[in-house]
Chains A and B, each alone.
Chain A
């Protein structure tokens, strides 16, 4: 157990729907990162939050949004889902917002869009 908790582990939904993925960072970590891993692709950075504020944005679609709450847990909202959104979504946490952080990953949420 890495200390980073992601729910749900698996999710199957239909095109056009909206889902929310949740992440609780490791105790003491202030920064949360979201990554997407699609078939045959590496980890694609989506977005980072540090202590409740958006810190960096990667290749996140406009249909996707995220936030980090005062208790430091984060949610990734995916709307108007398309088949191509099927992927493994990882959350990672780190102590700080920048610098030589080490990322601690959760187990991932596997999203299947039918």
Chain B
């Protein structure tokens, strides 16, 4: 079992603040890195898939970067809004299996 770690476990920010969180993974088993957004009472939804070292992806106010050599990815949210409140999951894709982190729970306070 591969260990995918996310930090922090939870985060409370004020509306308008920018924030970021980290996903760490063993770089030796890397095929792709996925980010999912999981709102309460819903199912996880795919945000980004990154495959190359140095990849940067952006969707609106949310962006992600990838460093496969050192085994980490950052997710950034610029100008957080209450609707950004969710758990953000990262998953290491080894090509055969997905290994999920336990997520970062983000609460944006209006």
Which residues does A use to contact B, with CB under 8 Å? 2, 4, 33, 35, 41-43, 45, 48, 55-56, 58-59, 90, 98-108
User: Which chain A residues lie closer than 8 Å to B28 at the CB level?
Assistant: none
B43 pairs with A58, CB closer than 8 A: no
Interface size on B, residues (CB 8 A): 24
B46 pairs with A104, CB closer than 8 A: yes
User: Which chain A residues lie closer than 8 Å to B36 at the CB level?
Assistant: 103, 105
Closest CB in chain A relative to B85 CB, distance in Å? 19
Which residue of chain A has the shortest Cβ distance to B1 in the bound complex? A59
User: Which chain B residues lie closer than 8 Å to A98 at the CB level?
Assistant: 95-96
Which of B12-20, B58-66, B75-83, B98-106 sits within the interface?
Answer: B98-106
Which residue of chain B has the shortest Cβ distance to A107 in the bound complex? B43
Interfacial residues of chain B within 41-97, with CB under 8 A of chain A in the complex: 42-46, 49, 51, 89, 91, 93, 95-97
Which residue of chain A has the shortest Cβ distance to B100 in the bound complex? A43
A101 pairs with B45, CB closer than 8 A: no
B96 pairs with A56, CB closer than 8 A: yes
Which listed residue (A42, A58, A90) contacts B103, Cβ 8 A?
A: A42
User: Is B108's CB within 8 Å of the partner chain A?
Assistant: no
Closest CB in chain B relative to A30 CB, distance in Å? 15
User: Which chain A residues lie closer than 8 Å to B102 at the CB level?
Assistant: 41-42
